[in-house]
Structure 1
Amino acid sequence: MAALRSLARADLKAILAIQQASPEAAQWSAEAWESFVRSTESAADEDLRAGYCAWVAERDGKVAGFLAGLFSGVEMEILNLAVSPGERRAGVASRLLEGALAAARSSGGERAFLEVRASNAEAIAFYERNGFLPAGRRKDYYATPVEDALVFAHALAADD
């Protein structure tokens, strides 16, 4: 099973490599990731505060995947989730998602949201298997290539 921990600055090279190998994932620049990491550095692993949050999954001492999110009030938005091609279908994405949702729930979160490319059938099926339901569509949300985003939502019940 993959071990979860908070994203650290030292993970950026691995994160960028995973992202580059995952064209279906949101493609953030190195500068955007640097800024993101700066904004997460003050949060403790067990205390999800309002603001940006991110985790990495490690297998055999290597970063196998990552999840970046934003927690605000009672809502978490999953901003970016990707797994190294060699680690896919090994439970890494599920572990990341479960960890993020558990952190949101334990911090008073009631709902989680995300956007996914309308053409990304594999991701849509993954999110639906994990309790996310369709909640809307954003026309031309993605720029490269231009594509609609499907919005999914997940209620974070205490016994979920």
Structure 2
Amino acid sequence: MPLEWARLIRCGGATRGSAGVDLATAADVTLADDKVQIVPSVVNGPLGYGLSALLIGRSSMSKQGLFVLPGLIDVDYTGNIGIMVRALFPPVNIAAGTRIAQLIPFQSSVPKTKLTERGSHGFGSTDSPQVAFAMTVTQRKPSRMVPGQNSTTGTLFLFRHAHY
């Protein structure tokens, strides 16, 4: 049995019928603001048995204002499985060993297209550089009321590129 799979089995699910296994944090972490942070888990890839996994948050964490952003762990990922989190009401202290996420393992059915291995790089490491577009919207927000059908009215906001 692969070492990481044995660790996952020890983490276990909440019930006998659980679809995923709980994933615990590897260190004490304090989330001081509401920005997304990566928390190290107690498990490293590869998971073994040719498995990939979907990483999602435990519902109990969302209920407490800690959001786990979903992720995908590829079969050839060899680094620490980091958990992307965001605190709704910081600061939030997370003790080492706290089960904040779960892994749902699956066999990938995507045809293999490249001979390169992922390795320990994660979080967008195989993507080409991306540029996010951001535009400041001014206080001038031109709008116009437009009468709708059947004696109702709707609001239509018209934005001209030149205004922004």
On whether the aligned pair clears a TM of 0.5, the verdict is no
- Larger gyration radius, structure 1 or structure 2: 2
TM-score, normalized by length of structure 2? Answer: 0.28
Structure with the higher helix share, 1 or 2: 1
